[in-house]
Chain A
Amino acid sequence: MTRKQKRLALIGSALGVLGLAVGLMLFALRDNVVFFYGPTEMAEKHVGPGQRLRIGGLVKTGSLVHLEGKSVTFAVSDGNAEVPVAYTGLLPDLFREGQGVVAEGALDKGGVFRADSILAKHDERYMPREVADALKKQGVWAGGAENPAATQVAKPAGATQ
């Protein structure tokens, strides 16, 4: 092989790998991206059944119902609109009424959001950012970043955050 051919082989394989990477990424980004909506946005965007979504808001106080087995239903609200959610499985430690929650799943034909995973953040002073934004949009919450008015937790004495 001449020097030129060697260099061409090198450049060729580099371009090949680069092309493969770009192709894979574009393909994956087309189908594997999950949008995040608050309940109001969901109503505005007329989300159809079956589309995978993440929704977030507060667990509406008084809406949590334990069904048979490990199924629960509750409503996610941003103060303006709300979405009924059904979930089967263990709820995270920090899942509580009145607290922020993020659920991933899809709407069924009856308009109920079938969640297959529920995230409640692991620090109760911490509000999932999307939830905070969704609530701010609806004017429900205008608090600081870390201590939403919605949490009813006695703040430890002396905490300055």
Chain B
Amino acid sequence: MIVELGHYALVLAFALSIMQTVLPFWGARAHEARLMAVARPVALTQFAFVALSYAALTYAHVASDFSLANVVENSHSTKPLIYKISGVWGNHEGSMMLWVLILTLSGAAMAAFSRAIPPRLLADALSVQGLLCAAFLLFILLTSNPFARLSPAPIEGADLNPILQDPGLAIHPPLLYLGYVGFSIVFSLAAAALIGGRIDAAFARFIRPWTLAAWCFLTLGIAMGSYWAYYTLGWGGFWFWDPVENASLLPWLAGTALLHSAAVMEKREALKIWTIFLAILAFSLSLLGTFLVRSGVLTSVHAFASDPQRGLFILGILVLFIGGALFLFMTRASSLKQGGLFAPISREGALVLNNLLLTASCAAVFVGTLYPLALEAINGDKISVGAPFFNLTFGPLVAPVLLLAPLGQLLSWKRGDLLGAAHRLFFAAVCGLAAMLIFAAINGAPVVAFIGAGVAIYLIVGAFTEIFGRIFPSGLGSSKNAFYRAKGLPLSAWGTAFAHAGLGVTLLGLAATGWGVEKIVAMKQGQTYDVGPYQLEVIGLTSQQGPNYKETLAHMSVRRDGQIVALIQPAKRFFTTRRMATTQAGIVTLNFGQIYVSIADQNESGSLDARLYWKPLVSLIWVGALVMAFGGGLSLSDRRLRVGVARRAAKIPAGAQGAS
């Protein structure tokens, strides 16, 4: 009964999405305020119905209702509760449900928090959002219905793919989708602005919080996914340039560019056309990612759907929205008026360069991801484009961004002083060079590693140079009111500094992989093995029974200079239902570095084949992403930029704002 309610709620949500598409749009054309006003409650109700439907599906999974095909294929009665809940999105149908849930959540959020947006623009934007919801709801109802029943119902399910039974999977997809789909708000607003034909600096203010929020979630989602791959796949890699990973990197790069160009548009009313284009691009790339992952065109662990009907449907959605938006862009963009002027050497100039490089690197990833597919479609040749391609193209295009980021922060709007900015970066550059020399003295790494480490330090120090200059206007001597000055700085300035520094932290982690040690050994009990500065010793093997698997654990001690500093327990799990083994890497974090051990089966001689890694500073890769997202969060909570500020600002006189 609950399942039928869920199915019915989904159909109702579809009907509501059609209403949301048609009525406000019509209202905006007919200047009928009452019709436009329908959009808001409908968007909220639609979210409520999809949430209800999603809850029904979750209930079926938790209650192990094996009359549902989706539950049978992906669940098992002995599966732990957390994976019964997260398993809902661990399959094609469920993950589309999560996608639509967040899509309608975005629509509802836009409806609830965008009172500052002019009613006409909001009506059109919610109408576009409604059309998006309608397309994806129809996709679920027609091709991927999670509520399909199975008769007769089997007694037991097939269990969830064991590598997906992991806490990382419980967090990664929702974060990633909040990022992916969060860009839909920006897309809808851009499309609505093009339909309306009037775009000014206020538009940048409307999209900025949504872009920032989506960007933060996407940053966290990508980092989480990368860490999940790192510890579950058992070979210590954290980024494989797999098409599925690239699919999440593409909107991130476009979104990062959008953040920066929106800043220019907001402050200087320049780059209007470009900002609109990026707003369309970011979500278009999210859609492309969904197509790649959900249609099954890729060879990848993520592509569990391989039904051509689904692929064609998503391709249709893709063509409709990207094509439609680009068509609107083509016909309307030329009528936009040119904005403020700026000298090439200025904050705007630096941000333009940032945008050029980010979109170019985005294009390189795009080509590397889609070229093999295109080639196969054209002449049947199967090729793979791996890490060397991306290192050679993405690397050189992103490197200047890293060098320019601190410089851009120090240039002033309109016309900047390059020499002055370079002068102020002197300290950061010295730190970077010193770090480079120190790192170069540590043997065993390629040149790229210590150059990267030097640039990382420069980037971190450089990121805070601007803030430092504002807190201590005349050197450290002026520390008297420093605290108050620091408190008085806008949060968005702190946000920028932290986001840039986070990039530096990640880069440091990446560079440090150059000093990593990898060993494959047949470990015997009682013998010690050197990994970097540490020694590993096998103490013994034990077996235990988990809820739905059998596990063999290897207990090892980690010593440094004779002292035991940690214990490490890599394991091998065998999932009985799917008859499938997984490797649970043993990981210990020591001084931001990690010892990583993954084991194979025991040999006949009793020795244990294992991969041993020492990865210095590797955790910084993900810590950096956290810092970036933290910076984004700070920026988001800046009072001046919050959603709905424009309206409040109109009511409160400028002087009173600081006190409130």
**Whole-angstrom distance between the Cβ of A53 and the nearest chain B Cβ:** 10
Contact A36 B609 (CB under 8 A): no
A101 to chain B, nearest CB (A): 13
* Prevailing SS type, chain B contact patch: mixed
* Chain B contacts for A161, CB-based, 8 A: 73
B531 touches A (CB below 8 Å): no
Residues of B within 8 A of A36 (CB): 382-384
Interface residues of B in 601-615 (CB under 8 A from A): 609-611
- CB contacts under 8 Å to B, within A1-44, are 1, 3, 6, 9-10, 13-14, 17-18, 20-21, 24-25, 27-29, 31-37
For the complex formed, measure the closest distance between the CB of B598 and the CB atoms of chain A, giving whole angstroms: 8
Q: How far is the CA of A130 from the CA of B363 in the complex (A)?
A: 26
**A13 & B356 in contact (Cβ 8 Å cutoff):** yes
Asked whether B367 is an interface residue with its Cβ less than 8 Å from the other chain, the reply is yes
Question: Across the interface, do B159 and A29 meet the contact criterion of CB distance under 8 Å?
Answer: no
Contact count A vs B, C-beta below 8 Å: 143
Q: Which of B356-390 contact A (CB under 8 A)?
A: 356-357, 360-361, 363-364, 367-368, 371, 381-386, 388-389
Whether the pair A20, B73 counts as a contact (CB closer than 8 A) is: no
Which of A32, A70, A130, A133 is close to B520, meaning CB atoms less than 8 Å apart? A70
For B383, the chain A residues whose CB sits under 8 A away are: 33-36
Q: Mark A89-115, 1 if CB is under 8 A from B, else 0.
A: 111011000000000000000000000
How many chain B residues sit at the interface, stated as a range, is 35 or more
With contact pairs A20-B360, A93-B581, A156-B159 given, residues A9 and B69 touching in the complex (Cβ less than 8 Å) = no
**B356–A122 touching, CB < 8 Å:** no
Is the Cβ of B159 less than 8 Å from the Cβ of A129? no
Interface residue from A29, A121, A153 paired with B579 (Cβ < 8 Å): A153
A102 to chain B, nearest CB (A): 9
By a CB distance below 8 angstroms, the chain A residues around B356 are 13-14, 17-18
Instruction: Let me know if A126 is at the binding interface, CB within 8 A.
Output: yes
> Which residue, of A6, A20, A69, A122, has the highest number of chain B Cβ atoms within 10 A?
A122
Is B578 close to A, CB under 8 A?
A: yes
Pair A54/B384 contact, Cβ less than 8 Å: yes
In the complex, A6 Cα to B348 Cα: how many Å? 12
Complex Cα distance A78/B352, Å? 53
- Within 117-138 of A, Cβ neighbours of B (below 8 Å) are at 121-124, 126, 128-130, 133
A133 CB contacts on chain B under 8 angstroms: 382
Having A25-B393, A159-B73, one finds 7 other A-B pairs with CB under 8 Å, namely A6-B343, A20-B396, A24-B396, A29-B371, A29-B385, A35-B381, A94-B580
13 interchain pairs (CB within 8 A)? Answer: A3-B341, A6-B341, A14-B356, A24-B364, A32-B385, A32-B389, A90-B609, A93-B581, A122-B163, A123-B580, A124-B580, A157-B154, A158-B66
